[in-house]
Structure 1
Amino acid sequence: MEFLYEYGLFIAKAVTIVVAILLVVGGIISLASKQKHGKGNLEITSISDRLEEIANHARQLLLTKEQLKQFNKDKKKRVKQENKDSKEIKGQVFVIDFNGSMDAHEVDNLREEVTTVLTIAKPEDQVLVRLESGGGVVHGYGLAASQLQRIRDKNIKLTVAVDKVAASGGYMMACVADQVLAAKFAIIGSIGVIAQLPNFNKLLKKSNIDFEQHTAGEFKRTLTMFGENNDQGREKFREELEDVHQMFKGFVAEHRPELDINKVATGEYWYGSKAKELGLVDTIQTSDDYLLTLNETNKIFSVKYSIKKNIAEKFGFAASVALETALVKVWGKTQTLFR
C-alpha cells in the first residue's frame, strides 16, 4: 500500500508539472498570437567594403611582406593623385535583390526597398536589381514592375541583371530597366499567359454528389472546378487570357520599342546569347562582373528590407528545433526529421 501511495504521489507530481508547462506555453502562444508583426528591418550594407576585404585577404595570402608594403604605398599615392585630379562627383550604386515566387509576395519587401532608395538617391546615383524569377500571378508581377518603374520615373538609372532566369512576370519586371544584363545561359522571355485548373464534375456525378453554384452576371464565373463547364464559358476564359496577353505584349513593347514583339511574344524562352540577338537583353554579363566594374568608380551598397518574426513564430521555430534535437537523442539518428 505504501508503494502504491508513493507511486500515485509521483504520478500526481508529474501530471502537475506537465500541466503547468502546458499552461505557460499556452499563455505565451496566446499572448504572441495577439501581437502584430513587428516593424520590418532595413539593412544597408557596403558591398564595396566587402569586396575590399576580400581583395585585402587575398593579397595577404599571396603577396610577400615586401610586396604588400609596396602595394599599400603605391595605393596611397594613387588615391591621393586621383582625389587631386578628379573633380567629378562619383555616384553611389544601390543593389536590390528580388527572388520572386509564384505569388510574388516578395513585392512587399521590394516596395520598401525602392522607397528607401528614392529617399536618398541623387541624380548621379543608380540602382542595380539582381532579378531571379520564373513569373507568377499577373497582379503581383504587375505591381513589382510598377515598383521598378518608380525608379525610372525619378530619372535614376536602373539596371536589371539576370544571372539565372527572368521569364514571364520576371521579364515583365526586367524590361522596365534602362539596360538589361544577362548571363550567357540565363533563361529569358516566356512572354505569354497560362491558366489551368482541374474539373471534378464527372467524378462528382459518378459518386452521386450534386454541386450547385449561383452567380449574378453572365460571366461572373467562366470555368469551375466542380460544375459542368460549357463551350461559352471556355471561349470567354480564352478571351480573358488573350486580353492579358495583349496587355503583356503592349507593356514590353512600350519599354523596349526596338523589339519585334510578335516574334518574341509567343510564350517561348531563350538563353542569354540568343535573347541578346533578339533584343530582349542588352549585354551578356553577370551581375558579379558588373559590380566589379562599378566598384572602380562608385561606392556600392546593398539595400534589404525584411519583416521581423513575432514571438509566436520564433517560439514555434525554437520548439521545432528542440523537438528535433530530442528525437535525435532518443532515436540515435542524425538526419533531419519531419521536414
Structure 2
Amino acid sequence: MNVTEKLTARLPKIGDRGGNAPVVAVVKLHGMITPTQSPLARGVVNLAAVETALTSAFDRDRLVAVALSINSPGGAATQSAMIAERIRQLAGKRQVPVLAFCEDLAASGGYYLACAADEIYAHRSSMVGSIGVISSSFGLSGLIDRLGVERRVYTAGEHKHRLDPFQPEKAEDVAWLEGMQSQVHEVFVDWVRERRGDQLAADEQLFTGEVWTGARALELGLLDGLGTLREVVATRFPEAEVVTAEPKRPLLAKLGFAPGGGMGTFAGERLGAAITALEQRAAWSRFGL
C-alpha cells in the first residue's frame, strides 16, 4: 500500500458524509518561480503569492485530496524549496493525499514542486525534469567602453563585487558561481531521491538537467502515471466536487491597479519590470513555449 492509499483509507467513506460531496481542492502553480512580482510577466510563483491558496485548499471541509496543477519552467531554488516544504507541512496536518499534475511543463523548480506531492502525473507529451541549476547574465563591458562610460564601484570586502556584468569576467568568480550551483544541485538531487525513492531508474542522465516527455519520465520513475487532473480525479474520486483554491488578491489589484503602476512610477522601475519579463519569457522559450 503506497502513501496515497494509506491516507485515503483513513478518510471517512463517501456514504458516511450525510449526502455532502467530498472535495478535491486544486492549487494552480503556474509561472516562473521568483521572489519578485512583475506587472508585465506571464505569471509568477512564490510562497507569498501562493500561501493563501495553499492554506485555503487544505482548510476545505470534506477534503479528500489536494491537487497541484503545475505549469512552470522553474526559477528560484529557495522559493521552490519553501513552497514544497509548506505543502508537506499542510499535508501532514490534514492527513490527505497530495497529487501533482504536470501540464505543458514541470521543469527544474517546477519539478521540485511536483515532488512535494505523494503522486505525480503528466500528459505523455508534457515536458518533465531538468533536474539541474542554471544562472545567466550579460557581459556589457564592451558596450560601456564604446559609450565612453566609466564604471565606478566602491566596496569594503574583497568579494563584494563578483560577476559585475559591466566588467570583464574573472575566472575566480566563475569558479565561485559553479561551486554554489553544485551545492544547490545537490540539495535538488537529495530532494528528488527523498521523495521518489526506489521508483527512480538507475540512469546516469537523470540528474544532468535533461528534460523528457511525460512518457519517458514515467519510465525513469519521475512520474507515477500518465493522465490529466480531470481524468485521474474522476477515476480516483468519482463523487468528489473539484474546487480551485484561489489566492487572495491585494485590494489595489482587485481595483485594477497593477504593481509598479500609477502616476509616481519611475521610468527605471518600468524598465526593470520589462527586463524581468524578458528574462521570464526566455525561461519559457528554452522549452519551446
Q: TM-score, normalised by structure 1?
A: 0.61
User: Deviation digits for residues 74-109 of structure 1, max 9, x if unmatched?
Assistant: xxxxxxxxxxx9755574311122212252643334
**Distance in 1 of aligned mates of 2:107 and 2:220:** 15
Q: What residue identity is the alignment partner of 1:133?
A: S
Q: 1:297 aligns with which of 239, 248, 251?
A: 239
Higher alpha-carbon Rg: 1
Two-structure CA RMSD over aligned residues (Å): 2.7
Q: Bigger shift: 287-296 or 275-284?
A: 287-296
Percent identity over the alignment is: 24
SS at match of 2:247: strand
One-letter code aligned to 2:241: K
* 1:137-179 deviations in Å (ceiling 9; x for gaps): 2232222222322233223210001122111110000011100
Q: Deviations over 1:15-65 (max 9, x none)?
A: xxxxxxxxxxxxxxxxxxxxxxxxxxxxxxxxxxxxxxxxxxxxxxxxxxx
Give the 5 Å matches for 1:89-108: 91-103=22-34, 105-107=44-46, 108=48
What pairs with 1:154-303 in structure 2 (closer than 5 Å)?
A: 154=93, 155-258=95-198, 259=200, 260=202, 263-303=205-245
Q: Distance in 2 between matches of 1:261 and 1:248?
A: 17
Q: 1:117: how far off?
A: 2.9
Q: Which shifted more, 132-141 or 299-308?
A: 299-308
Distance in 1 separating the partners of 2:168 and 2:253: 47
CA distance in 1, matches of 2:255, 2:33: 23
Report the Cα offset of residue 189 of structure 1.
0.1
Q: Could you say which residue in structure 2 is the equivalent of 1:112?
A: 52
Secondary structure of 1:197 counterpart? coil
Match of 2:276 in 1: none
Count of equivalent residues: 231
5+ residue gaps, structure 2:
1-12, 36-43, 259-289
Is 1:314 equivalent to 2:259 in the alignment?
no
Taking the aligned partners of 1:132 and 1:148, their CA distance within structure 2 comes to 17
AA in 2 matched with 1:283: G
Moved more, 106-115 or 272-281: 106-115
Structure-2 change in CA distance of 1:314 and 1:202 (3 Å): closer
TM-score, with length taken from structure 2? 0.71
- Contact 2:218–2:224 (8 Å) recurs in 1: yes
Matched letter for residue 153 of structure 2: Q
Which 5+ residue runs of structure 1 have no aligned equivalent? 1-84, 317-339
Secondary structure of the 1:264 match is coil
* Contact 1:161 1:182 survives alignment (8 Å): yes
Contact 1:163 1:287 (8 Å CA) reproduced: no
Aligned partners of 2:29 and 2:70 also within 8 Å:
yes
1:244-268 CA-partner distances (Å, limit 9, x unpaired): 1111111211111222485311010
Paired residues of 1:191 and 1:266 also in contact (CA < 8 A): yes
Alpha-carbon distance in structure 2 between the residues aligned to 1:139 and 1:184: 29
